[in-house]
Amino acid sequence: MQLYPLFPVLHPILKPTFPTCLWGGDCNSKAIALSFDDGPHPQHTPRLLKVLDHYQITANFFWLGACVNRSPSLAKQVCDRGHWIGLHGYYHHNFPLLSPSELKDSLERTQAAIYDTCELQPEQVRDVRPPNGLFTPQTLNLLQRWNYRSVMWSVVPEDWVRPGVTTVVQRVLQHVNNGSIIVLHDGACGGEDVAEITNILIPQLLQQGFYFVTIDTLWQQSLKR
């Protein structure tokens, strides 16, 4: 079952219901965030980095701790380029299915992997995106109590089911707006196409006047509103 048609409907409902999450940036600004989940991946992420390097774009990566430990030198390359790093859990486990202690351990293990690889202090890596976008009010309360910031999305083209490069690009261009957070994947599911998709998307988005910022920049914008 493809969930893509539901995301544009869910976003305006979930955003005011869970205001402690970051769902997007300033609607009066052309700043948008391009984000990638599930990496780093030894084949897909290097190809993506070449595209980002070519256009000199700063993106955002929500990493799985297990993938960081499998590809530490690649993770260091991403970090050294100045991309913003967030957490996606140690494994791709849905947060509501984990006990509080399991969730805390998952996030702390991922922070430790990033620290060991990139020398980023845990307090520098506290943006969390739940796998599959699944969370409960308790999940958000726990994350807030542990001083993490919950980051969601506004444009989800469901690239992980590989509907085709053209389809993914069209879906993004159809729904992108000022302040959008675009979610793509450079991991095992969907990552095969991510470099090609990104290479097509970036020039078209730039042509429309959008510019790319970090998730941290969108947080700063949200504090000013």
Q: What is the pLDDT of residue 225?
A: 67
Residue 1: what pLDDT? 46
Q: In sequence order, which residues have a C-beta less than 8 Å from that of residue 97 and are 6 or more positions away? A: none
Contacts 24+ apart (CB under 8 A), 5-9: 7/153, 7/156, 7/158, 8/175
Task: Judge contact between 219 and 22, C-beta under 8 A.
Answer: yes
Residue 185 annotated to the active site? yes
Nearest-angstrom CA–CA distance, 1 and 146: 35
Residue 6 lies in a domain: no
Domain count, the chain: 1
Structural contact between residues 171 and 158, judged by C-beta atoms closer than 8 angstroms: yes
Question: Which pLDDT tens digits describe the chain residue by residue (225 residues)?
Answer: 467 777 788 888 888 899 999 999 999 999 999 999 999 999 999 999 999 999 999 999 999 999 999 999 999 999 999 999 999 999 999 999 999 999 999 999 999 999 999 999 988 999 999 999 999 999 999 999 999 999 999 999 999 999 999 999 999 999 999 999 999 999 999 999 999 999 999 999 999 999 999 999 999 988 776
CATH code of the domain covering residue 70: 3.20.20.370
Residue 158 has which token pair?
């469901």
pLDDT of residue 11: 83
User: Could you confirm whether 83 is annotated as catalytic?
Assistant: no
Whole-model pTM over 0.95: yes
Residue 9 in domain: no
- Which one from 37, 127, 159, 193 is the annotated catalytic residue? 37
Q: Determine, yes or no, domain membership for 107.
A: yes
Domain of 209 in residue numbering reads as 22-224
Give the single-character DSSP code of 74: H
Q: Which of 38, 185, 186, 193 is catalytic?
A: 185
